[in-house]
Chains A and B, each alone.
Chain A
Amino acid sequence: MFGEFEELGLIDRYESVIASVGYEHIEAHVLETCTGQWGNTMLDVLRSWMSDKVVPWMLSVVAEEARSMLQGVGSRFDFHINKTLCDLRTREIFDIIIDFPDSMGALNDLKDCLQRVDQRTALVTALRKANRKRLLHPGADTKLILSQYVATIKCLRIVDPPGVLLFKVADPIRRYLRDRPDTIRCIVANLVGDNSDGGDALVDENEPIVPLQQVMDSMDDYGDPNWEPEPVDAGPEFRTNKPSDVISTLVSIYDSKDLFVKELQVLLAQRLLAIKDGNFERVEKERRNIEILKIRFGEAALQVCEVMLKDMTDSKRIDGHVQSQKASNVHPTIISKHFWPALESSDMVMPGQFQELQDLYAQEFTIFKPDKKLKWLPHLGTVRLELQLDDRTVEADVLPLEAAFIELFSKKDEWTLEELIAGVGDIDRSAAFKALVTWVNMGVLKEDPENTFVLLERAEEDVSGKRSPEEWGVSAGTFWLPIDSSVLALIGGGVNVGPELPPVITAQQQQAEQMKVYWKVRPFIPSQPYPAPKLTIRQFIEGMLTNLGGLPLDRIQTMLKFAPGYDQSIEQLATFMEAARREGLVVVRDGMWRLNK
């Protein structure tokens, strides 16, 4: 039939129709065979399919004489395969990244296709859109976003080694992560190998540990003989991401690594304080961790962690000595105040025998170290108790507050909540309640009537007085008291802070605290002879911004230097201003800080 067409000269006329039939066939075939098939490269399979199936079909269509022009058609079909596959993979890119490293084939395909087809912009747009829709929303776990980001980095490095695509895609993710409060926590938890929640480690075990590269100061090395111009589609802000390791990339989300060091300290403090005595291997494990991290962050940055570890060793030694002088059941961890993250303070006073134990130990300590004294942090730690009741003995590991309460009950069998709180000093009512519930759940106490607790010298069969933990809104077992809800919100997002971790103020809180001190408490007294009203630095900044309108950060810093007692670096100022922005006091536009009116 085609022969006749040829004779009639129709082929030329309908060539485009025939070609479009071919295109459609190719598209259908590619979609059918390749959708969701990411394990192997499909491009070669498709090419051989074309030479086996499509080309013979074309040959049957096109007469002998027109063979020569087939060359052109053939390469057009090949291009079409590339394009169809590329479109398909672009649509699937988000899932391909999720599947990494099982989707290596698809990525290699994509790389080959992109060399023939100019679809890079489409890929970036598609991936950015998918990320926005599926990843960067409040429903996604920070840990998840991080691991997807890491996978994206790895994938796009395969597709596009110079990193232009990566830079364009990564930017929104990085910006989003920067706004998440628990990003640092997540990264740091990963650094110290805290994967108790079963998540994947972001860092490969076999990735060599290298010092952090500060991406910021990577100036172009003009003397580099292997220098290559930036790829054509690189934007003006593009910085060549030298193939740095994942951790460096993650850390570079933030402008300074100090934040990480601070968070690391908090995490280390939690872990060290949670260590039960006699488990010295865990201290050794932490020490190894810190040694590794030192390679990344540098020796000086982790000096504080070093002191914390030394405190652990010293405590053990001191305890050993004190025990040899006078055996005691108290085994304290003695910490150097300024080298640990701010611990929640408490006005709790341990009653009865606990007070005696503390005093005895402190005396013994002062004899050993004549120039030093101990200041107890009574709300931290754990106590193992044995309660000898009429019909049974109860042994339990409890928190100091819980221990304090039960100690009170050894004097009197019935206490009201108010009396109990008064008995242990000034503590939070809800915390007190939670501590008492622990004993109620153990069947040692009973609440009867409301807010009055009675000791059960004899176990009660009737458990109706025992409310389930859910009813109390308390998780079963021990409960950590002084963590306030904002901390819980901070740590809730993905990082496992189990109930065994003591309350340590997170770095964010510390920062806010610092800011308050700096903005509100520290007085700024203008050097005027008459008794001037005390101005705070905050008012100073406020006044500055009111008088002069918007100011860039370095101007504010320069002007603040005139204020007496001002010793903050510009980075610290930036943190403060950022915090002020979050509180809605100021706004920033184009690097100019203004009052929020």
Chain B
Amino acid sequence: MKVIVKHWHAVAQWRWDIGTAEQEDADTDNEGDVCGICRVPYEGSCPSCKVPGDDCPLIWGECTHVFHMHCLLKWIGTAASKQQCPMDRRTWVTAERKVGSTTAAS
């Protein structure tokens, strides 16, 4: 017997590619990580946005910390931040995303 798929109406969820080691764990326990600033899941939207996804993207730091872009920019914009990552107090450097590298590695 041969099974031919004519049409498959599937359902999927999208996830941000956080690119961390816990990624696999996060997949299994299906509890996504939260943004360290607003405590809203990455796949949610930051407090000032209403729509998640491309309209409320993430920002990746060299220090491997990830935040909602809007949250981080707001933080960096305040004088108290001294341009530091709120998690480890190192100067914030936005990481260059190597497209596909994390997926290939994982």
Q: Which A positions have Cβ atoms within 8 angstroms of B? A: 273, 276-277, 303, 306-307, 310, 314, 329-339, 343, 345, 353-354, 357-358, 361-362, 365-367, 369-378, 380-390, 395, 400, 403, 406-407, 409-410, 413, 455, 457, 502
Contacts and interface: CB of A to CB of B under 8 A. Distances in A.
Contacts of A365: 14
A331 B10 CA distance: 6
A290 to B, nearest CB: 14
A354 to B, nearest CB: 7
B11 A377 contact: yes
A316 to B, nearest CB: 12
Contacts of A389: 1
B1 A455 contact: yes
Contacts of A380: 10-11
Contacts of B11: 273, 332-333, 335, 343, 376-377, 380-381, 502
Contacts of A400: 10
Contacts of B8: 329-331, 354, 357, 381-384, 403
B33 to A, nearest CB: 12
A329 B7 contact: yes
Given A310-B51, A385-B3, A409-B1, A333 B9 contact: yes
A464 to B, nearest CB: 23
Q: Which of B13, B15, B52 has the most chain A CB atoms closer than 10 A to its own CB?
A: B13
Interface in B82-106: 97, 99-100, 103
A387 B13 CA distance: 29
Contact of B15 (A332, A372, A378, A381): A372
A381 B13 CA distance: 13
A337 B4 contact: no
Contacts of B7: 277, 329, 331, 383-384
Given A335-B13, A339-B52, A345 B30 contact: yes
A353 B1 CA distance: 14
Q: Is the interface of A mostly helix, strand, loop or mixed?
A: mixed
Contacts of B61: none
Contact of B13 (A337, A369, A385): A337
What band does the interface of chain B fall in when counting residues whose beta carbon is under 8 Å from A?
Answer: 20 to 34
A132 to B, nearest CB: 46
Interface in B1-42: 1-17, 27, 30, 32, 41
B72 interface: no
Given A357-B5, A387-B2, A371 B17 contact: yes
Counting from the closest, the 9 A-B pairs by CB-CB distance are A380-B11, A332-B10, A384-B6, A388-B2, A370-B99, A384-B7, A386-B4, A338-B44, A381-B10
Nearest to A382: B9
B1 A371 contact: no
Contacts of B16: 371-373
A372 B32 contact: no
Contacts of A370: 17, 97, 99-100
Given A307-B51, A307-B52, A367-B100, A276 B1 contact: no
A48 B50 CA distance: 69
Contacts of A386: 3-4, 6
Given A387-B1, A389-B1, A371 B58 contact: yes
Contacts of B3: 353, 385-388, 403, 406-407, 410
A383 B10 CA distance: 8
B4 A388 contact: yes
Given A339-B44, A381-B9, 7 more contacts: A339-B52, A362-B12, A369-B14, A371-B16, A376-B12, A386-B3, A406-B3
A407 B14 CA distance: 26
Nearest to A340: B13
6 contacts: A335-B11, A336-B52, A372-B15, A384-B6, A385-B5, A407-B3
A383 B15 contact: no
Given A336-B53, A338-B44, A329 B13 contact: no
Nearest to A386: B4
Contact of B12 (A307, A329, A377): A377
A418 B57 CA distance: 45
A325 B15 CA distance: 21
Nearest to A328: B8
A335 B9 CA distance: 13
B68 to A, nearest CB: 13
Contacts of A369: 14, 54
